[in-house]
Amino acid sequence: MTHNMWDVHEGLPLICPTCRKNETRVVDSRDDESVVRRRRECLDPRCKHRFTTYERMEVPRLFVVKKDARREQFSREKILAGLRRACEKRPVSEAQMEAVASNLERDLFARGESEVPATLIGEKLMDSLRNLDKVAYIRFASVYRQFRDVESFQEELASLLAK
């Protein structure tokens, strides 16, 4: 009989499901995208039971704190959707937008915090777009900054042109 177990031992020896001893060895290991499958064998000479464990990488959860103090889980797809809208009909490839999203995601997780303000995300995206495509930057900024009138839009445009 083969047992399947989720490997959550964090470096400790795994317990044999048959004899309950905590001495096992890995016989075979295979990677399947986000899961590692391991065949294990009990080291007790009277048992020698083989079983399978699965290891899954735990991805830390990141929450975005909105301007109104609501919290929602960070969504890479939401970032990409905003980038796609800003870059629509612009000479910006999907690979470039993916790179912007990946860089943002890496920077946010590198902070080591479980919550980040939405304003930080918006500013980082605007910085990336400013370097990538000026028109996409203005499109994104007009939605993100919620320009109230033409004068505030002109100020942002003048600031961009000055740089």
The confidence score (pLDDT) of residue 45 equals 94
Question: Residue 92 and residue 55: Cα distance in Å, rounded?
Answer: 38
The confidence score (pLDDT) of residue 1 equals 38
pTM of the model: 0.60
The confidence score (pLDDT) of residue 64 equals 96
The confidence score (pLDDT) of residue 142 equals 81
**pLDDT by residue for the chain (163 residues), tens digit each?**
344 444 444 445 578 999 999 888 999 988 876 688 889 999 999 999 999 888 877 667 899 999 899 999 999 999 999 999 999 999 999 999 999 999 999 999 999 899 999 999 999 999 999 999 999 988 898 887 776 677 777 777 777 677 6
The ranges assigned to domains in the chain are 4-56, 63-162
The confidence score (pLDDT) of residue 70 equals 95
Q: Which contacts (CB < 8 Å, 24+ apart) does range 31-40 have?
A: 36/7, 38/7, 40/14
Residue 89 structure tokens? 């009909």
Question: Residue 142 and residue 42: Cα distance in Å, rounded?
Answer: 63
